[in-house]
């Protein structure tokens, strides 16, 4: 009797959505434990916690933020390719509001005197943050409008902004890299409250999203639209509004990611910020077990772990001396492994193996 | 008469996106010829082909994949891998023909593996080809971290041979309008692609499995078509085209590097969409891809001829054009669906049917698309209008002066540790700065010479900082991108601890090392500023 229950429980564990991402994360950390000496060392310096583990958490913050938004979009059966471009736009807006001298606005006073001034900001920092997030949400609404009201395929609709977005970002900053000297703003990505401040931002985003989707009906609506928008429509859900919400929310998350990214490197570079991050975010969601292209059930925590898996792999590869440029090959290997793990053939194999183990235990 | 026209329109509606593409190209080209006299030269038209043979080859492969209902993100990755691998093999003295054969085989294998993932493991094409792209880009750097130059005579021969156009060129003096061998190769690939798509069983299968949101694939399967095999073959074909495009690209630029053609998969997809092929699959013509490529090249050269607009307008205009063409396709799709419903209800051809047929023009999608295009153009007008009073009419006539690199080299020889030249911008400046170890900073913009005194410690800190940013490592490299209308071009020479290195970069250049901008911003923080120029 007890063996049957344990077999059933084992089945539940392997079928859990968090199983694969957690195993992946565990394998990478095991690899680090064996091959990278001192990987798990943590140090307290002036009240800040340092170490490779903290680095992983801190560097993954923008990807985690993007992955949260991307999860909701993918759950509605769509995909958002434009998040990297939205990041570039939001970052440019934030930088230009902090330091508009660069585009030649006529400002009083000596320009050279304020360069390097850690307190200088053209508009108050809260306004900068709100403006950047607002712009990101508007970009998201544009995507959502095309998908929901234009009935354009999500991949195509968001591709437009993906291509045009970087151009728009360059337009905002006149293609000039703006260095940020303001310390208050830089605190978002660089600050420490024992742990890096960006972690708290991302955690707040995760908890907020979780409450929004799991403690209100929105999560249910998102899943139902993803499974069948027609059925949702007939059962009285305003599927257009849900889709609009999903893309706007993804835009918002991209805005948060942009603020973290731009403040941590203190430079707005429209060409580099968020480059290829949309692919990382999609990969994180796929590793997390939310199915791309199908829509329906989603797992926020899975996506977050997925983003951590990507960052942990990168950090460990750097730690063992793989050059930064060859990292993409490692990422490709990761995608291939994930593909194989989630393929119907492999799933079938798992199920059969699980059943065989269960049967053996029952007969024993 | 009217009746027959409308019937003819209705029957040939599938040609509408293609027609729109060709019309747009013709319109934009004629507009360009009116605005810029330099474009009236026949060579200006041929240059559209000469600068894009690799893109056209990519578009043929990508187009077939998209018609089959998939997408291939790996094309630019395989292209870059081919450039690096062929450059490395040629450097090691391999026979060029063997290298070409090997590269094409590699493209086929790459495509086959991705195709098998998609066809048999039922992986989303987006994910499978994304992995392909990352793998190819990563392999580039495993082969070689730095750029590998190609000195092979065959490569040089193919790059240098000009094919004169009969009637437009003088065969005796070998002057006149010409195309390159690469253009001929690209057009041949297009011809073969069109033959495959429209005149073979394989091509018809590609069309039949695309579109319908996966429904057509199901019906094709039920009809007994070999869907899985066709899918693998399509991705193999795309891999082959990418490898061929890689060889063409390596001939075109004369080197192999992992950063070659970054983001070109997006340009290829955009050209396919602008060319009238539906991203949902099953519709469109490969010949449209040619015009898609020509339009993207035309936008670029129009922006260059204009000289006032920056190069990043290219991506914005391409995005807007994509929106328009996607709008046209969505409109057509809804048109067809409506007709299908009407026919099912048995009222096709009646008065009601005719009235319904007109309605799509009032479709929301069309309005959204039109509104956006108008908004973009109004935006351009507003920005153009607001910037013109500041820059004045003189800026329009600005011709860029060549770099004064010899002068910069002399300054360094005379003891300067940093020589920094800034060229271009909306004011069309040409400024040469020199920083000396004793803290003296001189600047010369051709009409004005200014000087500033900093402390020697500041200069040392600056030099140390630049050195720490990896100035003397391989991570800091010059890019060969051409200058856009309003961008600055920077030419920086740093001499520190017995090392000397010069790096050139362009604003808006996508391949420029990120640290370069940290260096320029540190420099501009200490450099003196020119006052208003004396008239």
d(CA B363, CA B213): 22
Collect all residues of chain B within an 8 Å Cβ-Cβ radius of residue A270: 312
One-character DSSP codes across A159-201? HHHHHHHHHHHHHHHTT-PEEP--HHHHHHHH-EESEEHHHHH
Within 10 angstroms of residue B386's Cβ, the number of other Cβ atoms is 9
Distances (CA, A) of A324 to A314, A316, B74, B77, B303: 9, 11, 20, 17, 35
One-character DSSP codes across A152-170? --HHHHHHHHHHHHHHHHH
Is the pLDDT score of B403 beyond 70? no
Q: What is the pLDDT of residue A240?
A: 93
Q: How far is A329 from chain B (nearest CA, A)?
A: 4
Q: How far is A163 from chain B (nearest CA, A)?
A: 6
Residue B440 bridge partners (DSSP): B453
Within 10 angstroms of residue B420's Cβ, the number of other Cβ atoms is 24
**Does B244 touch chain A if contact means CB atoms closer than 8 Å?**
no
Region B11-309: CATH code:
1.10.3470
Distances (CA, A) of B394 to A54, B398, B400, B487: 55, 7, 13, 17
Q: A-contacting residues of B 464-493, CB under 8 Å?
A: 486-487
d(CA B452, CA B458): 13
**CATH topology classification for A48-321:** ABC transporter involved in vitamin B12 uptake, BtuC (1.10.3470)
Nearest to B518 among A166, A267, A326 (CB): A267
Q: What are the sequence ranges of the domains in chain B?
A: 11-309, 405-526
Q: What angle do CA A321, A323, A329 make, to 5 degrees?
A: 110
Q: Which of A112, A151, A167, A266 is the mutation pick for testing B, counting most B CBs within 10 A? A: A167
Is the pLDDT score of B354 beyond 50? no
Q: B-contacting residues of A 154-183, CB under 8 Å?
A: 155-157, 159-168, 170-171, 174-177, 179
* Pairs of residues, one from chain A and one from chain B, whose beta carbons lie less than 8 Å apart: 161
Q: What angle do CA A213, A218, A221 make, to 5 degrees?
A: 120
List, for residues A33-53, the tens digit of each pLDDT value: 888 888 888 888 887 888 888
Instruction: Write out the H or E segment, with its range, that includes residue B492.
Output: strand B488-496
Lowest mean pLDDT among B77-86, B263-272, B428-437: B428-437
Burial B40-51 (b: 16+ CB within 10 A, else e): eeebbbbbbbbb
d(CA A228, CA A247): 18
Q: How far is A170 from chain B (nearest CA, A)?
A: 7
Dihedrals phi, psi of B121, to nearest 5 degrees: -90, 0
In chain B, which residue's Cα lies nearest the Cα of A177? B517
Q: How far is B95 from chain A (nearest CA, A)?
A: 28
Q: What is the pLDDT of residue B292?
A: 94
Judged by CB atoms closer than 8 Å, whether chains meet at B128 and A293 is answered as no
Q: What is the pLDDT of residue B369?
A: 61
Collect all residues of chain A within an 8 Å Cβ-Cβ radius of residue B383: 171
Q: How far is A254 from chain B (nearest CA, A)?
A: 20
Q: What are the sequence ranges of the domains in chain A?
A: 48-321
Strand order in the sheet with B499-506: B449-453, B440-444, B429-435, B418-424, B488-496, B499-506
Higher pLDDT pick, A115 / B137: B137
d(CA A260, CA A213): 24
Q: What is the pLDDT along chain A (364 residues), one digit of tens a residue?
A: 444 455 445 555 556 678 888 988 998 899 888 888 888 888 888 878 888 888 899 999 999 999 999 999 999 999 999 999 999 999 999 988 987 766 655 454 555 555 567 777 888 999 999 999 999 999 999 999 999 988 888 888 898 999 899 899 988 887 777 778 888 898 988 888 888 999 999 999 999 999 999 999 999 999 999 998 888 888 889 999 999 999 999 999 999 999 999 998 888 788 788 888 998 999 999 888 888 777 888 999 999 999 999 999 988 888 888 877 778 888 888 888 887 877 777 778 877 877 777 777 666 5
Distances (CA, A) of B220 to A43, B144, B208, B223: 62, 44, 6, 5
Is the pLDDT score of B285 beyond 70? yes
Q: B-contacting residues of A 88-127, CB under 8 Å?
A: 104, 111-112, 115-116
Collect all residues of chain B within an 8 Å Cβ-Cβ radius of residue A152: 326, 330, 365
Distances (CA, A) of A120 to A125, A180, B2, B91, B345: 10, 9, 69, 54, 69
Q: What is the pLDDT of residue B245?
A: 97
Of the candidates A311, A324, A328, the one whose C-alpha atom is nearest the C-alpha of residue A62 is A311
Assigned token pair, B46: 């041929």
Q: B-contacting residues of A 206-235, CB under 8 Å?
A: none
Collect all residues of chain A within an 8 Å Cβ-Cβ radius of residue B330: 150-152
Q: How far is B2 from chain A (nearest CA, A)?
A: 32
Nearest to A177 among B140, B517, B525 (CB): B517
Give every CB contact of residue B215 below 8 A, 6+ residues apart in sequence.
none
d(CA A78, CA A155): 7
Residue labelled with tokens 């859900």: A237
Q: What is the pLDDT of residue B373?
A: 61
Q: B-contacting residues of A 335-354, CB under 8 Å?
A: 335-336, 339-340, 343-345
Tell me if B420 sits within 8 A of B491, measured CB to CB.
yes
Region B405-526: CATH code:
3.30.1560.10
Collect all residues of chain A within an 8 Å Cβ-Cβ radius of residue B135: 328-329, 332-333, 336
Q: What is the pLDDT of residue B379?
A: 55
Higher pLDDT pick, A58 / B5: A58
Q: Which of B78, B134, B271, B369 is the mutation pick for testing A, counting most A CBs within 10 A? A: B134
Q: Do domains B11-309 and B405-526 have the same CATH topology?
A: no
Residue B179 bridge partners (DSSP): B163
Distances (CA, A) of B435 to B256, B458, B460, B468: 36, 11, 11, 18
Dihedrals phi, psi of A132, to nearest 5 degrees: -60, -45
What is this model's ipTM?
0.83
Tell me if A125 sits within 8 A of A185, measured CB to CB.
yes
Q: How far is A57 from chain B (nearest CA, A)?
A: 23
């Amino acid at each position: 009797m007890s063996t049957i229950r344990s077999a059933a429980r084992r089945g539940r564990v392997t079928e859990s959505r968090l199983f694969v991402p957690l195993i992946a994360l565990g394998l990478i950390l095991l690899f680090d434990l064996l091959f990278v000496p001192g990987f798990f060392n943590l140090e307290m310096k002036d009240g800040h916690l340092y170490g490779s583990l903290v680095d992983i958490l801190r560097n993954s913050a923008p990807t985690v933020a993007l992955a949260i938004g991307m999860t909701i979009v993918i759950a509605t059966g769509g995909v958002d390719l434009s998040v990297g471009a939205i990041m570039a736009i939001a970052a440019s807006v934030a930088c230009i509001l902090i330091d508009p001298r660069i585009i030649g606005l006529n400002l009083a006073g000596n320009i050279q005197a304020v360069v390097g001034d850690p307190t200088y900001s053209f508009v108050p920092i809260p306004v900068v943050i709100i403006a950047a997030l607002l712009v990101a949400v508007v970009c998201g609404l544009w995507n959502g409008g095309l998908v929901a009201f234009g009935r354009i395929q999500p991949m195509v609709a968001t591709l437009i902004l993906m291509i045009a977005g970087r151009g728009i970002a360059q337009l905002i900053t006149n293609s000039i890299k703006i260095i940020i000297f303001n310390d208050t703003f830089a605190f978002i990505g660089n600050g420490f409250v024992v742990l890096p401040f960006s972690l708290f931002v991302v955690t707040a985003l995760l908890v907020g999203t979780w409450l929004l989707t799991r403690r209100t009906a929105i999560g249910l609506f998102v899943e139902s639209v993803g499974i069948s928008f027609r059925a949702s429509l007939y059962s009285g859900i305003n599927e257009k509004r849900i889709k609009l919400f999903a893309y706007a929310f993804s835009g918002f998350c991209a805005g948060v990611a942009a603020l973290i990214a731009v403040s941590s490197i203190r430079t707005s570079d429209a060409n580099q910020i968020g480059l290829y991050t949309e692919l990382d975010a999609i990969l994180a969601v796929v590793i997390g077990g939310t199915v791309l292209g199908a829509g329906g059930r989603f797992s926020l925590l899975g996506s977050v772990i997925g983003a951590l898996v990507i960052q942990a792999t990168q950090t460990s590869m750097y730690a063992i001396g793989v050059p930064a440029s060859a990292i993409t090959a490692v990422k490709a290997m990761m995608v291939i492994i994930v593909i194989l793990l989630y393929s119907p053939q492999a799933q079938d194999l798992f199920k059969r193996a699980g059943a065989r183990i269960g049967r053996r235990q029952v007969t024993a | 008469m009217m009746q027959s026209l409308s019937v003819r329109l209705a029957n040939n509606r599938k040609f509408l996106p293609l027609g729109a593409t060709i019309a747009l190209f013709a319109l934009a080209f004629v507009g360009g010829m009116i605005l810029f006299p330099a474009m009236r030269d026949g060579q200006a038209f041929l240059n559209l082909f000469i600068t894009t043979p690799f893109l056209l080859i990519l578009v043929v492969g990508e187009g077939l994949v998209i018609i089959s209902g998939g997408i291939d993100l790996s094309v630019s990755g395989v292209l870059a891998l081919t450039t690096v691998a062929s450059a490395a093999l040629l450097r090691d003295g391999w026979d060029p023909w063997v290298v070409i054969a090997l590269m094409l085989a590699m493209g086929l294998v790459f495509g086959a593996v991705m195709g098998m993932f998609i066809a048999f493991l039922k992986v989303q094409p987006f994910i499978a080809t994304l992995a392909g792209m990352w793998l190819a880009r990563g392999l580039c750097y495993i082969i070689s971290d730095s750029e590998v130059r190609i000195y092979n005579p065959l490569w040089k021969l193919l790059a240098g041979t000009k094919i004169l156009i009969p009637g437009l060129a003088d065969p005796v003096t070998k002057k006149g309008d010409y195309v390159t061998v690469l253009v001929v190769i690209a057009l041949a690939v297009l011809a073969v692609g069109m033959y495959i798509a429209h005149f073979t069983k394989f091509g018809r299968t590609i069309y039949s499995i695309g579109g319908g949101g996966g429904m057509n694939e199901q019906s094709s399967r039920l009809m007994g078509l070999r869907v899985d095999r066709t899918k693998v073959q399509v991705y193999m074909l795309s891999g082959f085209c990418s490898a061929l495009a890689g060889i063409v690209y390596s001939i075109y630029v004369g080197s192999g590097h992992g950063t070659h053609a970054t983001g070109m998969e997006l340009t290829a997809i955009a050209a396919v969409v602008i060319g009238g092929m539906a991203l949902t699959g099953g519709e469109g013509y490969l010949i449209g891809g040619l015009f898609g490529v020509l339009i993207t090249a035309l936008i670029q050269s129009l922006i260059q001829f204009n000289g006032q607009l920056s190069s990043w307008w290219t991506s914005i205009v391409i995005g807007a054009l994509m929106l328009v063409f996607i709008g046209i396709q969505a409109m057509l799709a809804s048109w067809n669906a409506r007709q299908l419903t009407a026919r099912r209800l048995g009222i096709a051809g009646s008065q009601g049917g005719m009235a319904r047929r007109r309605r799509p023009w009032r479709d929301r999608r069309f309005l959204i698309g039109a509104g956006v295009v108008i908004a973009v153009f109004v935006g351009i007008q507003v920005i153009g209008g607001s910037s013109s009073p500041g820059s004045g009419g003189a800026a329009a006539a600005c011709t860029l002066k060549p770099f004064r690199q010899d002068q910069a080299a002399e300054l360094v020889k005379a003891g300067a540790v940093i020589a920094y030249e800034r060229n271009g911008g909306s004011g069309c400046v040409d400024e040469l700065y020199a920083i000396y170890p004793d803290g003296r900073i001189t600047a010369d913009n051709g009409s004005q010479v200014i000087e500033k005194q900093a402390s020697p410690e500041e200069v040392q800190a600056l030099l140390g900082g630049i050195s720490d940013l990896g100035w003397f490592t391989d991570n800091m490299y010059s890019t060969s991108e051409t200058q856009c209308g309003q961008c600055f071009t920077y030419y920086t020479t740093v001499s520190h601890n017995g090392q000397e290195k010069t790096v050139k970069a362009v604003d808006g250049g996508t391949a420029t090392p990120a640290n370069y901008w940290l260096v320029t911003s540190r420099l501009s923080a200490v450099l003196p500023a020119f006052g208003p120029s004396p008239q």
